[in-house]
Amino acid sequence: MKQEMRFEADLFEGHKSVTAVLVPFDPEKTWRRRPVRLDPRRDGWLVKGTANGTPFEGYVGYRWKRFFLIIDDELRKAAKLSIGDSVSMVIEPTESASALAAAREQSRVTTAPKKGRPDAIDPEAGRERRRPAKPAPKRRR
């Protein structure tokens, strides 16, 4: 299954002066992954990639029947982007803690829906499952 997705998108300024690009595919269908819970009312698909060759981590969100990816100020400056510019995007899913942290920070500037998806993956629960099992108690002789 192809993970890396390439597309061109125009940088726009949305509500609350958030700058973003529209993602032209459904990450759930394309990557066969459910979104990750970012907070009780927000969720999205964690990604890593490049914008005009500049690396970044973040998330693909879904609002108003559209998928979007926030291009924050730091990335805009590093990639030398202005509102209205066409951006060459390369993104793929990730499960990294740094992408989760970036996504949570970015999502704070968006308007939250009334409630998040009940089937979103809880990343903290996933980490607990990955912890090694406790060693078995020693037997007495």
pTM of the predicted model as reported, rounded to 2 decimal places: 0.85
Q: Which pLDDT value is given to residue 130?
A: 39
Q: Dig out the tokens for 35 from the structure.
A: 């979104």
Helix (H) or strand (E) holding 100, with range, is: helix 97-107
Q: pLDDT at residue 126 above 80?
A: no
SS3 66: strand
Q: Is the pLDDT of residue 92 over 50?
A: yes
Taking residues 94-115, report their average pLDDT.
93
Residue 104 CA neighbour count, 13 Å, CB half: 13
Model confidence pLDDT, tens digit, residues 55-87: 999 999 998 899 999 999 999 999 999 999 999
Domain ranges of the chain: 5-120
Query: What is the CATH T-level fold of the domain 5-120, as seen in this structure?
Result: Elongation Factor Tu (Ef-tu); domain 3 (2.40.30)
pLDDT > 90: what percent of the chain?
Answer: 75
